[in-house]
Amino acid sequence: MTFVSNGNGSTITITLGTGSPNTLSGPVVFGTATGNPGYTFSSTATLTGTFVSGNFNLSPATGVSTFTYVDNNGDKFSANVTWTTLSDNSPNPTFHGTLTITSATAGSGALGAEFANLYPKNATVGFDFTMNTLGTTLSNLVLEAAGTTESQTIESGSITPAPEPGTLALFGMALLAVIVFTTRRTFYADAA
């Protein structure tokens, strides 16, 4: 990834990887399944990061970004990427965003079944990834002259799966019970 100062003290331009479209790929691990390359970000977008309170709010200047995942168990999905923020205050900035899964195929066995539950088609899941050490923080880079660049690869990352429907139902019931208990308790306290 390449980060370029726009020279205005508040924004940077970010390019993902190389080529046209820009691609960035690397290894994945899901349980005992692996893939190398297992993930690929592909983007015709150039991102703009606007510095606000120690982080950068991200927006694509143009184009779209996609994400694909493939492992040796046959698990795979494709997703559209929504970039949200880039955490700074470190020479290892972290990207945050969401993936909206457009297609998904589960592999074999129990691992494939788990994958199918966690990453179904049409689900929106969170992601983050941290860069290897840059020569400076991005908050310092925005203060540099226009065209000053920093480049680095991804150090680590994770995808936060969609909550299972059963988990959401349990959470909803627990929340309802708390509301009922609190309401009854307030009612009896007022009556006394």
Residue 168: its pLDDT value, please? 45
Residue 180: its pLDDT value, please? 46
Radius of gyration of the chain (CA): 21
Please identify every stretch of the chain with a pLDDT value under 50, giving residue numbers as ranges. 167-168, 170-171, 175-192
Token pair of 55, please? 């982080």
| Residue whose pair of structure tokens reads 């990207």 in the numeric block | 95
Task: HSE, CB side, 13 Å, CA atoms: give it for residue 151.
Answer: 8
Residue 66: its pLDDT value, please? 92
Domain boundaries, the chain: 2-161, 164-192
Specify the DSSP class assigned to residue 18.
B
Residue 23: its pLDDT value, please? 86
- pTM recorded for the entire structure: 0.79
